[in-house]
Structures are given as C-alpha cells and as structure tokens.
Amino acid sequence: MADELFEQKLRALRRKRALRRGLELFLHERAFEDIIERLSLVQRRFRSGLLVGPPNPGWRERLLQIADQVDLFETDGLMQLEPGSYDLCVAVGELDTVNDLPRALLTIRFALREDSLFIGAVPGGDTLPALRSAMRAADEKMGAATPHVHPRIEPAGFTSLLSSAGFTMPVVDVDRVQVSYKGLADLVRDLRSMGATNILASRARRPLTREAIAAASRQFLSGAEDGRVTEMFELLHFAAWTSAVPGNG
C-alpha cells in the first residue's frame, strides 16, 4: 500500500539474502539472553509460548524449558494468530519494522490469555547516531535530504503503546550496546548481515554518488579514537502482562 512506512517484500528479500550469507544475530542473541534471565525470575511454567523473531530453532529449544510448547512466528504472520492461544509471547527485535505497531501490539494482546506475559526487546530511538550523522553528510553532497535510517521509538512512547494495547504493568528499560568499527563500510556490512538495511518506502531510489559516499565515510570517521568509531545500538527491553481478570484492561 502507498501509505506503508516499510516495504515488507523488500524486508523479506533482505532477510533471505542475509540468511544465505550467514545471518548476524549478535544483538538479537544479547537481547534473547537478557530475556531468558528475566524469565528465570518468573515463578511459573507456561503452557504455550509464542516466539516472534528471526528464525532460530535454538531459541525455541531454550523456551521449551519454561513452556510446554512454543510456536515460531515472524511479524508478517501475526494477523493469523488465534485469540487466547498463548500465555507467553517473546518478541526479539522484530516489531520495529511493522507498518502498524499499535495494531501489532493489540493483535499480540488478543492472542494472549488472561494473566499472560509479553516480554521482549526492540531497537530504540538512540540507535545508530554515527550512521545518521554520516548520512546527513551524504545528503548534503546529493543536494536533497532523504530517509536512510529507520525511525525508532523512545522508551516512554513504547510504554504508552503497551498500555494503549491493553497490557498492564508495562516496564521498559534501556540497554545501550557499543560496537567498534574501522569504518562505515564495516557497519554497513554488519547491517546487511542482520537484514537490517533501509526498507523505508520513502527511501531514495537513486544510489549515492562517489562524492556522497566519501563524505559519509569522512563524517563517520570524524568521531574515531585510535582509528575506530564506536557506534551505538539501543535496545529497549520490555515486559507487560494481560489482565488477570478476563475483560479487564
């Protein structure tokens, strides 16, 4: 549709390309390990879990230690969920590229029974500041500003969305992950391996010129220390519950 923020077909193509080359999941793995640690503090065994994230059978096996069954879904399959099917949903880094996040959260809430847990992680608003600065330098050379980096949500905004979807006791906290790169090309290589390059519908179709790429690379390296640039990935960890009483919340 013309009003979609993200091109989901392009997202799938880039995910397949990353899978062929070897999907890079170091951020997802970090987020998942934190989720497992938090789940270990919940004194209950779940009947049926839903895992929303990159295809990773190893994660499903880990969750089967705390849930009797676990189904795997990517975000494009959320609308197929049956109401009241699960008492646990774990979402790892996938919700930032859905076109209607409030609807996706509402769908997950309806898929959960009463007194069920929704827990996960999503990229936050302070992700990739060095890349954003580099792309502004590229735009100056191109003579026009175009969106290169996905918009991200702030912690307070995500808390509000969880509440609006009907979840109770929402908690959101921040994990800022610093990664060191020799140059812009190394960061772009990582993003491609994550399947996380630009899929905005409003992105520029014209490729960057050599001059624009050079300007972006210089700007990226302007913050280097000892020949390396520290880029930041912000992860918002969240947890919320459905009401313990059917019909409330």
Helices 184-194 and 129-142, interaxial angle, to 10°?
A: 110
- Average pLDDT over all residues of the chain: 92
Q: What is the pLDDT of residues 110-139, one digit of tens each?
A: 999 999 999 999 999 999 999 999 999 999
Going by pLDDT thresholds of 50, 70 and 90, the confidence category of residue 20 is: confident
| pLDDT confidence of residue 246 | 56
Q: Residue 3 pLDDT more than 80?
A: no
Beta-bridge partners for 31: none
Exposure string over 91-114, b if 16+ CB within 10 A, otherwise e: bbbbbbbbeebeebbbbbbebbee
As a 3-state breakdown, the chain gives helix, strand, coil percent values, each rounded to 5, of: 40, 25, 35
| pLDDT confidence of residue 249 | 45
Question: Contact 149/93 with Cβ under 8 angstroms?
Answer: no
- Give backbone dihedrals phi and psi of 87, rounded to 5 degrees, phi first: -120, 10
Question: Contact 173/184 with Cβ under 8 angstroms?
Answer: no
**pTM higher than 0.75 for the full model?**
yes
